[in-house]
């Protein structure tokens, strides 16, 4: 049975993935960066993901942005982690879309 991501690529006509790239404040690669590289490598070596475009997006400050956005709300800690992860993903995707839009305007 195909993996659920492979089904998503086929069903939704996905052209690529945005990958949050966690580098240190100094710009150095860490364990999470290596894990992201390994994840993308595994995807690329899967038939359903061949030929897709992968975009790496700096996620250094994503958690801080989301935390500051949600700090004034009284959210159950069990739910907060889930919400924070979703907002972080949205933040990473929006940063990528903004960057691609800027590049498109410069051309």
Question: Is the pTM of the predicted complex or chain greater than 0.95?
Answer: no
Question: What does the mean pLDDT of the chain come to?
Answer: 84
Distance CA 40, CA 49 (A): 10
Residue 52, pLDDT score = 84
For 60-104, what is each residue's pLDDT tens digit?
A: 888 888 889 888 888 898 898 889 989 999 999 999 999 989 988
Using CA atoms, how far residue 3 sits from 19, 30, 46, 47, 102, in Å, is 18, 28, 10, 11, 34
Residue 97, pLDDT score = 92
Band (38; pLDDT cuts 50, 70, 90)? very high
């Amino acid at each position: 049975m195909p993996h659920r991501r492979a089904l998503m690529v086929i069903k939704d006509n996905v052209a690529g993935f945005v990958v949050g790239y966690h580098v240190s404040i100094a710009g150095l690669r860490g364990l999470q960066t290596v894990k992201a590289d390994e994840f993308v490598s595994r995807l690329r070596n899967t038939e359903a993901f061949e030929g897709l475009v992968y975009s790496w997006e700096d996620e250094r400050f994503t958690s801080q942005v989301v935390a500051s956005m949600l700090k004034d709300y009284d959210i159950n800690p069990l739910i907060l982690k889930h919400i924070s992860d979703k907002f972080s993903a949205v933040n990473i995707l929006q940063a990528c879309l903004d960057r691609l839009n800027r590049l498109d305007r410069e051309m």
